[in-house]
Structure 1
């Protein structure tokens, strides 16, 4: 039986849901959350009605909840929403709603939100253009649109998507900054500013977080070690730090204004 991409996403992120609360495993999500909130800061307002698309456990929603009127955290994976709701209740956040839904068919009327954000989703979905179009559709005129995602640097050697899919079969395609900007512009919004940065991550926690099978994890490790020894580029830019194998991710924060 053929498995759809959405089914892959739900399967993989159901396995990963509990790990989102573990900072030892969920390094990228937790380490750079404050940085994203600072990037969003000029757009946050106490009157904002916010939608977080493909929200996972609603990390962004929960981080900004006390600074806005209301946040809806929408995701395709029920297990992720359950983890997020539990954490929001524990924190006493009363203005966050968790909703099950598909990012390519948002169950909301046009021009419903004053700020729409998605984090680490475009590289995961089958049709990132459809997600961006839906995000712009539900923005009120002049609303801020925030995209934070894994990014492919221009001129990168090696097929990083191959390694990403080995580790997590629901991975789609890492886009360049220009490709993301083109999607936003085509959807009718205007890119205003961007921030980009690299982060070297230890390999083992990344693999444990996704519950990558041992044989596949060993293959990924071999590929990165081969590159360090002069073999083919993987696109993961491996390095050794105190005997620990690392790889490098590039991240993009981009802010646009809906028309």
Structure 2
């Protein structure tokens, strides 16, 4: 079977598999949102069994439903924040490389400034500034994860600006905006898409981290960070499943996004077109 499929085809199949699994988790979480908040003290603190594969918590809530709902929420926040960060990175990277040295110096200074602050600390500060909750988490993650991709896209644009067709377009009177739109952005699409996918795992982990520390989503929402934070009080009593399964599911989700980004990079890489 491996001989019948080249590297790009295998990468495409793995990407499709990862995307389908993530989509299934997202949809399942939405469907189980009501079940995740149902309490039943007659079944509290049950260890994993056939009826409740992830066990139940101290309020009798189904941990499988809560885990899937929390993952679904994290994935949706990750998609939103990664998309905002990628668009900001594209705008800043393109502007820095096309609008002159002064603009480039200012934007490069902003990139260095943001990159000089630890991500988790910056996310917490921005989240607090926006009042925490959903808006705070989205703002914090979105405004702190664009710098690496912006620097990469800036470098790509600087290389493309020396291409003969770009120089010809400028001599023919095309404006900088027209050159960027018609000649630069199409060549940046592979790097942009790959960077967008690779932003997802960082966004999900930082959203869960700040929520775990109490600077993110409210405790009423069945987010993974909330679940892990609440479970810390019960680990010493032997309720290991309250943290083990949600933590394992979070790691698996991040790994799937990383796999999806790596395979997408291979698919879009022109060097692998004949492999």
TM-score normalised by length of structure 1: 0.23
Greater relative contact order (Cα 8 A, min sep 6): structure 1 or 2?
Answer: 2
Instruction: Indicate the structure (1 or 2) with the bigger Cα radius of gyration.
Output: 2
Q: Which has the higher strand share?
A: 1
